[in-house]
Amino acid sequence: MANKNVNNDDLLANIIKGIEEVKGNDIDILDLRAIDNTVCDYFVICNGTSNTQVNAIVHSIQKIVSKELKDKPWHVEGTENGEWVLMDYVNIVVHVFQKHVREYYNIESLWGDARITSIANNY
């Protein structure tokens, strides 16, 4: 069960670290806190180049968050096909896409009022 006592900043930092560890691309953090009736505080969105990399990103996030914060997602779905995996850490929901699927759904555009922070790839 997700740990309610985990600090959002710590969780965000470890999620980003998990993505970067396996070279996930195009990381965006959407801050939803100023928007009414949202299901969480943040979305983290990134993409991989294949279903193998998408699932590697998911496993890397889970491993790092578990090791550093003793937390695990409340719910994970989409790992069967590895095109769009959703990881629900309650306050933060992570979307890991294959690039073409991310472009198709373009969920950033659905949250136009969110403040978006893009993390540059360092690789």
- Three-state secondary structure of 2-57: CCCCCCHHHHHHHHHHHHHHCCCEEEEEEECCCCCCCCCCEEEEEEECCHHHHHHH
d(CA 113, CA 48): 26
pLDDT tens per residue across span 48-83: 999 999 999 999 999 999 999 999 999 999 999 999
pLDDT tens per residue across span 94-118: 999 999 999 999 999 999 899 999 9
- pLDDT in the model for residue 6: 82
* 0.85 exceeded by pTM: yes
Question: How many angstroms separate the Cα of 99 from the Cα of each of 11, 51, 79?
Answer: 24, 10, 15
pLDDT tens per residue across span 5-26: 789 999 999 999 999 999 999 9
Which tokens is 92 given? 């933060």
Which tokens is 101 given? 């699927």
More confident: 122 or 110: 110
The CATH architecture assigned to 8-119 reads 2-Layer Sandwich (3.30)
39: number of CA atoms within 13 Å, CB side? 8
d(CA 78, CA 69): 24
